[in-house]
Structure 1
Amino acid sequence: MTDAEVEELTAERHRRSTAHDPRFSADDTAKILEAFGADLPPEFIAFRKLLPFYNVTGDHLPANEMTATYDWEAANNPNFTEDFIPFYAIGNGDFLCLSRSAGRPSPVLYVAHDDPEVAVLHPSFSDYLRNAEWYSEQ
């Protein structure tokens, strides 16, 4: 999926914001790449760049919350490994994550705070965007 296709899909599901979302700084994507490496799904990076400009529902974490969550969960949650990159808070202590070891083709994982079993929610970030029941207004 190209960056243009990611934006087209986002525009179909969400209204363009009239004001920049202050939770996402101008260097949000750069901070994520610095913290977690550049081997992330390109669709994830393209989508992240759009978050400040669209009213996207759900709780996609800003870069500072991603890194703080990662640090806390890796240190304190026995069900959370250093392989998980949290990008979406479910709200009950669970997260949607990417797999650091899987790299660019990473599936979207459902990582529960109280269950060691990790579920593959979507086989790729592209599939997550196409079937976005977690955050789509439609």
Structure 2
Amino acid sequence: MLICDAMTRDVRMVRPDQSIQEAARIMSECDVGVVPVAENDRLVGMLSDRDIAIRAVAGGQSPETKVRDVMSEDVKYCFEDDDINSVASNMADVQLHRLVVLNKDKRLVGIVALADIANCEGSEPAGKAVCGISEPAHA
């Protein structure tokens, strides 16, 4: 099965110049823990609820802090025609619960979470990914 068969296609994005409060509101409305960050029609980062909590709130930053100041710039991704089992394995290797999905032109077409993989392929590939994610981070 291909990752495009499991991914979520309707993905809300935020801009780097938006406040983290606006981004958190979007996350709440969509009931998600991460949103891609786009600028000039290109993916430039990812913002997670953990980024907001650890990099902003714990650091005493205000709700008006810009997304660009706390987002993760190193975006991990997969392609829409990748095999779902290899994506699950990759998620374990990079220790991420979610990956953005790109087309061959490197345009965002969706996002895939471990839950999506479990719903499509069952618990084995998702379970193996969780085990890899749970390992201590690589040095």
Q: Is TM more than 0.5 here? A: no
State which structure, 1 or 2, has the greater radius of gyration over its C-alpha atoms. 2
- Select the structure that is richer in strand: 2
Ranked by relative contact order (alpha carbons within 8 Å, sequence separation 6 or more), the top structure is 2
Q: TM-score, normalised by structure 2?
A: 0.29
Q: TM-score, normalised by structure 1?
A: 0.29
